């Protein structure tokens, strides 16, 4: 057993500390504004960027991961709109984990045309330009800059401290290379198709005498512009023996996350046609051009035929148009250990968070019961409990790395946004509660009851306890934990493993300490008859946990049939154990009784969830004037001259509920909101909402709770995971 434990710990240590790390520049992105005049005399605001070598920002459609550059213009705190030109054609990157993204390296410019009325409105005024970006290499760093530019009718004048600029001829070259909008190519045939199970894809082919697959090995043939509710996956290209080019792009329909939700039409006809826009690589001119195609309906007959045909074609190998991660320089060991320490402390604090108390209490209960065992036996129990935690965190790390490789932006507690996962955990905890109420006992093959079983069986129970502790810990955030998780989620796979190992070590540390120092058990009560009564209390705590998870499940809103099936399975499993305990132990009858609830649980697991709309109850029932958060509404309020308080929460987040109880639902907070005319925005992350995920990611957050205050001058401050009235008042003066 010692060899096994040492092997596991050394394996994780070698992965964590042997991983190559890379440095972070002080200024990953430089940004400025200048004026530019084209050959016809039109004037433009030119936003010039320069990325640090080998670092990249993202195009409008970032690809599998990332966030696009965002730009806002203001005059006297009032937002204004300027006519945006096409962005430069992006490069394609193939990043670690086979993530395909589109964006920019080096120097590039975004142009905004200044019409006559814009020039008159701006002349003699100070233009405020805000730009946000996500810049990535081995780690992603959200960045932003605010420029204050005085416009004299021709030039933008910046403070003397702003020395970064482009020369006129460089801006001219950038402008000349912008994609031109052209008619849809006659040689390009494209369909939007759906199969019976709701899978959606674009299929297209391009036949041209100058067509060559070598032209598209390092670039996309089509790059779709972002448009809701279409979520475009990466392009896959093929060719036949004649050299005809074929392509397909898988699409996820995100209509369920729109407000109001938009269902994929069953008859294939859109209520309102969608115009899809693409960057199309012209193989003759060897440049990208912008093209559009309007879709009034979905082809429901040719999806399977197209898939079968594409299976016969030769795939075209794709390569990155930009080689990433050159000249890697090691990051200081102190930087990693700083975040590793935060991960350890965050894991340690999780032991006292409300989400894990039911399982932690069971573990403490077990220690009291077996306090007279030898030091070696206690250490063995606690090591296997720790291995259960370590195993589950390693599985979570693997899932997160897998999802990242597909381009998903995810956060801490993401699995609790899944109704099927919630249903499985509810079922397991309910069965454990029935055990504590004495409705059944775990029995070994030798016939001994759980309380008297051999160490081998107990070690298995310890391992499972570690798994459950980890699962229930994920709805909680704690001090230090958010910082460490942000570093992990936005960093390399090795850092994910390292940080998760740190959290696992912190979560299991108290029990490892007790295993090494059994005298610490003397601080706990001695065993006695009170333990039988306490078992019922622990059973009640598990039932209350089940009630909480049911409330979360209702909030995630999988539909009435889903909830009915789960409720029926819980009733049937209770009935099965009751029959076994009090009526009969006939094997055939019991087999039928236990197969029914387990079968229903299986049906839930493979069921298709119903599309319903969730309205945050906390907003509906609150006495405070909460508004639904959206990026647009946030920007409006930032420029309104009011204080703004932003709450990112979720129904399954217990740390959020504690903050609500102790701070947000108090009379002191209500009075502060009223006296200072504070605008309130609530972002509910109970269900998967990619807009919220992306925004949190851009602010260096990977989970909830998250709280922000915007002052009257538009500055935003991050309050962290825990808040207090005093801290809020320090910003709202």
3-class SS string, 396-456: HHHHHHHHHHCCCCCCCCHHHHCHHHHHHHHHHHHHHHHHHCCCCCCECCCCCEHHHCCHH
Name the phi and psi angles at 679, rounded to 5: -80, 140
Query: What is the tens place of the pLDDT at every residue in 533-573?
Result: 777 777 787 788 788 778 777 766 666 667 777 878 888 88
Q: How far apart are CA 88 and CA 193, in angstroms?
A: 30
Regions in the chain scoring below 50 on pLDDT: 1-21, 320-334, 406-407, 442-457, 609-621
CATH 3.10.129.10 applies to domain 617-731: no
Encoded tokens for 168: 């006129």
Q: Domain extents for the chain?
A: 29-177, 188-315, 337-417+444-528, 617-731
pLDDT at 448: 37
pTM exceeding 0.95: no
Sheet holding 180-181, edge to edge: 180-181, 287-297, 269-282, 222-224
Q: CA-CA-CA-CA torsion for 635, 639, 643, 648, nearest 10 degrees?
A: 0
pLDDT at 34: 96
Matching fold, domains 188-315 and 617-731? no
Q: How far apart are CA 229 and CA 632, in angstroms?
A: 17
- Under DSSP, the state recorded for 344 is H
pLDDT at 20: 40
CATH of domain 188-315: 2.60.40
Max Cα-Cα span within the chain: 93
Range list of H helices, 35-188: 116-122, 168-176
Closest CA to 566 of 592, 602, 594, 614: 602
Q: How far apart are CA 123 and CA 117, in angstroms?
A: 10
CATH of domain 29-177: 2.60.40.1250
pLDDT at 214: 55
pLDDT at 184: 93
pLDDT at 488: 61
* Sign of the alpha-carbon torsion through 442, 448, 452, 456: negative
pLDDT at 503: 85
């Amino acid at each position: 057993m010692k060899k096994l434990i040492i092997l596991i710990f050394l394996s994780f240590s070698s992965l964590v500390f042997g991983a190559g790390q890379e440095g972070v520049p002080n200024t990953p992105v430089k940004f400025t504004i200048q004026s530019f005049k084209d050959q016809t005399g039109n004037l433009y605001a030119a936003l010039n960027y320069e990325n640090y070598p080998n670092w990249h920002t993202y195009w409008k459609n970032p690809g599998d991961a990332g966030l696009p550059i965002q730009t806002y213009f203001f005059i006297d705190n009032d937002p204004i709109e300027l006519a945006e030109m096409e962005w430069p054609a992006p490069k394609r990157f193939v990043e670690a984990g086979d993530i395909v993204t589109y964006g920019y390296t080096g120097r590039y410019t975004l142009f905004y045309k200044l019409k006559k009325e814009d020039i008159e409105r701006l002349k003699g005024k100070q233009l405020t330009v805000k730009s946000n970006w996500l810049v990535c290499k081995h780690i992603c760093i959200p960045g932003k800059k605010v420029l204050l530019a005085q416009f004299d009718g021709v030039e933008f004048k910046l403070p003397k401290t702003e020395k970064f600029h482009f020369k006129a001829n460089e801006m001219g070259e950038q402008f000349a290379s912008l994609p031109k909008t052209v008619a849809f190519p006659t040689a390009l045939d494209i369909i939007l198709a759906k199969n019976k199970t709701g899978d959606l894809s674009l299929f297209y082919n391009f036949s041209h005498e100058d067509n060559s697959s070598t032209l598209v090995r390092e670039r996309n043939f089509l790059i779709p512009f972002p448009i809701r509710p279409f979520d475009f996956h990466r392009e896959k290209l093929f060719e036949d023996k004649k050299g005809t080019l074929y392509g397909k792009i898988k699409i996820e329909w995100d209509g369920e996350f729109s407000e109001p939700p938009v269902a994929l039409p069953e008859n294939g006809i859109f209520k309102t046609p969608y115009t899809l826009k693409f960057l199309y690589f012209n193989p003759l001119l060897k440049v990208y051009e912008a093209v559009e195609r309007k879709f009034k309906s979905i082809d429901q007959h040719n999806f399977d035929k197209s898939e079968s045909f594409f299976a016969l074609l030769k795939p075209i190998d794709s390569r990155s148009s930009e080689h990433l991660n050159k000249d890697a320089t090691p990051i200081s060991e102190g930087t990693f250990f700083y975040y590793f320490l935060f991960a350890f402390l965050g894991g340690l604090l999780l032991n006292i968070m409300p989400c894990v108390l039911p399982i932690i209490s069971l573990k403490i209960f077990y220690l009291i019961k077996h306090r007279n065992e030898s030091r070696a036996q206690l250490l063995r129990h606690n090591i296997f409990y720790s291995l259960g935690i370590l195993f589950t965190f390693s599985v979570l790390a693997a899932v997160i790395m897998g999802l990242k490789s597909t381009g998903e932006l995810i956060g801490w507690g993401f699995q609790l946004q899944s109704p099927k996962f919630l249903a499985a955990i509810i079922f397991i905890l309910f069965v454990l509660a029935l055990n504590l109420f004495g409705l059944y006992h775990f029995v070994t093959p030798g016939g001994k009851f759980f309380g008297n079983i051999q160490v081998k069986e107990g070690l298995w129970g310890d391992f499972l306890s570690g798994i459950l502790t980890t699962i229930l810990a994920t709805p909680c955030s704690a001090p230090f934990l958010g910082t460490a998780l942000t570093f992990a989620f936005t960093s390399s796979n090795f850092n994910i493993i390292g940080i998760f190992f740190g959290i696992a070590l912190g979560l299991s540390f108290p029990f490892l300490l007790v295993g090494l120092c059994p005298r610490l058990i003397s601080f706990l009560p001695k065993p006695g008859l009170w333990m039988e009564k306490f078992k019922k209390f622990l059973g009640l705590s598990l039932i209350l946990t089940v009630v909480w998870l049911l409330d979360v499940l209702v909030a995630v809103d999988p539909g009435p049939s889903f909830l009915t099936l789960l409720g029926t399975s819980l009733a049937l499993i209770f009935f099965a154990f009751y029959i076994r305990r009090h009526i009969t132990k006939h094997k055939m009858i019991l087999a039928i009784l236990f197969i029914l609830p387990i079968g229903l649980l299986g049906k839930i697991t493979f069921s298709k969830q119903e599309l319903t709309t969730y309205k945050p109850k906390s907003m509906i029932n609150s006495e405070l004037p909460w508004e639904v958060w959206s990026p647009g509404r946030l920007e409006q309020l930032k420029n309104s001259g009011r204080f703004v308080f932003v709450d990112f929460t979720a129904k399954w987040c217990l740390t959020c509920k504690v903050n609500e109880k102790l701070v947000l639902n108090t009379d002191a907070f209500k009075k502060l909101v009223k006296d200072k005319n504070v605008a309130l925005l609530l972002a509910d992350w109970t269900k998967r909402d990619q807009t919220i995920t992306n925004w949190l990611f851009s602010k260096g957050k990977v989970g909830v709770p998250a709280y922000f205050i915007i002052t009257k001058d538009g500055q935003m401050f991050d309050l962290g995971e825990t808040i207090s009235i005093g801290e809020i008042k320090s910003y709202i003066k």
